[in-house]
Amino acid sequence: MLGGTMASKVVFSLLATLAITIPCLEAGIAEFDEFLRAQSEKAHEIALQSYVPTPEFVTNDLNYHVHLSMQNVTRRGLKEGNNAIGKPCESSNPIDNCWRCNKDWAKDRYRLAKCGKGFGRRAVGGLGGPIYVVTDNSDEDMINPKPGTLRYAVTQKGPLWITFERSMIISLQQELMISSDKTIDGRGANVQIRDGGGLTMQFVNNVIIHGIRVKDIVPKEGGLIRDSYNHIGQRTRSDGDAISVFGASNIWIDHVSLSNSADGLIDVIQGSTAITISNCHMTRHNDVMLFGAADSYTGDKIMQITVAFNHFGQGLIQRMPRCRMGFFHVLNNDYTHWMMYAIGGSAGPTILSQGNRFIAPNNDAAKEITHRDYATPEEWKNWQWQSDMDLLMNGATFNSSGSPIAMKHKKGFIMKPRDGTHVSRLTRHSGALNCFVGLPC
């Protein structure tokens, strides 16, 4: 283990190198824009501040809370009714245990902001701001959005906690540009973003997306689109990602159901970091999650992402996730379906897979969980890809490589994560929840 002085010098050298690499202004931007150049530089500074020099401390903090949550299956919550048919509250992972068994969740929506774990744990979204209720599912004006619409809400100034008056289907006419310090909270309604543009977080900080359904997203032609209260930008054609994170930090995507989009379900690229993707349910898609878009973009060395308690379900083919350069903690997910491979990467990412359940397809050619691109075995043998306490079923194999990832524990955080046999319980309520006001979720 490096001494404090030596480690500090190594980290400073890395950050100094990365600090001069400002994310490029492609990503749908149609022309040079001084406002977005400034936003890019500001976002990059926040990304560097959000980077954790010793990521193992974060992974082990999450491991500790997973273990703790399985020991204390919220007896208080089990005594309370969960829903309209009187089932007990079944919450068993540390994120859900923080809020789900509280029948008054609708009166204390902000509590969710205290429940994040992993690399995106600092995302508090609209905490401290007012609640804004979406009452109108239309999306007609990209430049001056109509008050009451989701597009109007996500482009307002300052922190905002966005909820929905009722269940609704929103078909976005163009990609939705979400500004900093926002929470999109779909609890208590069936909110579907579908048959239109997807959600984009570009050069922003501190966003929570929770409890919505995103499906059948298609490319859009672009044009003038408002991306904040004080800026309208010219956008090129969007790719059709369900959720796109570009040069953004402190992002938490939780309890979202995603399926069938033209490009990726969740793409995180261009120096984004401090991100948690948790409790999501993904189905019917090819390229599920892309973390880092190009082997040549070294700014992604600061990328740190937690993927925890998700269910990778029916109709998925590959990229769960597909990683480049950064550090990726893949913890207690349920992989019940894939057609090609589950976890892939290139350009030497560090991948720590812990306590996942991998059920391989019946195809003998697709039993291997891992897939490495653009490198010979002589090169990738040094990439740190580690499997710890994973449950491998139906002939699944995990091809480990590189030196062991050091397990650095803070005092008191010495418990191991739960092994893969507990995954069905930890992920039982993945995806958007059916929450009713006055009852635990």
The pLDDT value given to residue 26: 57
Instruction: Say if CB 267 and CB 293 are below 8 A apart.
Output: yes
Average pLDDT over every residue of 291-296: 96
Q: Label residue 59 by pLDDT band (50, 70, 90).
A: confident
Q: Label residue 49 by pLDDT band (50, 70, 90).
A: very high
Query: Can 187 be counted among the known catalytic residues?
Result: no
Q: Which parts of 309-381 fold into alpha helices (H)?
A: 377-380
CA distance 23 to 127: 28
Which of 14-28, 42-56, 129-143 has the least mean pLDDT? 14-28
Task: Give the 3-state secondary structure percentages of the chain, helix then strand then coil, rounded to 5.
Answer: 20, 30, 50
% residues pLDDT > 90 (the chain): 79
Q: Identify the helix (H) or strand (E) that includes residue 12.
A: helix 4-19
Domains and CATH numbers, the chain: 21-73+79-426 (2.160.20.10)
Residue 420: how many other CB atoms lie within 10 Å: 25
Which of 64-68, 92-96, 291-295 has the least mean pLDDT? 64-68
The pLDDT value given to residue 66: 78
Average pLDDT over every residue of 218-247: 97
CA dihedral of 296, 250, 398, 362, whole degrees rounded to 10: -100
What is the widest separation between alpha-carbon atoms in the chain?
A: 59
The pLDDT value given to residue 289: 98
Q: Label residue 18 by pLDDT band (50, 70, 90).
A: very low
Average pLDDT over every residue of 188-203: 98
Average pLDDT over every residue of 227-252: 97
Average pLDDT over every residue of 98-124: 96
Which one from 319, 322, 357, 372 is the annotated catalytic residue?
319
The pLDDT value given to residue 72: 58
Instruction: Say if CB 425 and CB 357 are below 8 A apart.
Output: no
Q: Is 257 left (phi over 0), alpha (psi -120 to 50) or beta?
A: beta
CA atoms within 13 A on the CB side of 394: 16
The pLDDT value given to residue 14: 45
Q: Label residue 416 by pLDDT band (50, 70, 90).
A: low
338 pLDDT exceeds 70? yes
What would the two tokens of residue 290 be? Answer: 């892309």
The structure tokens 């001084």 sit at 34
Q: Label residue 413 by pLDDT band (50, 70, 90).
A: very low
Helix axes 34-50, 4-19, angle to 10 degrees: 170
The pLDDT value given to residue 2: 37
The pLDDT value given to residue 285: 97
3-class state of residue 31 by DSSP? coil
pTM confidence score: 0.91
Mean pLDDT of the chain: 89
The pLDDT value given to residue 7: 43
Instruction: Say if CB 149 and CB 136 are below 8 A apart.
Output: yes
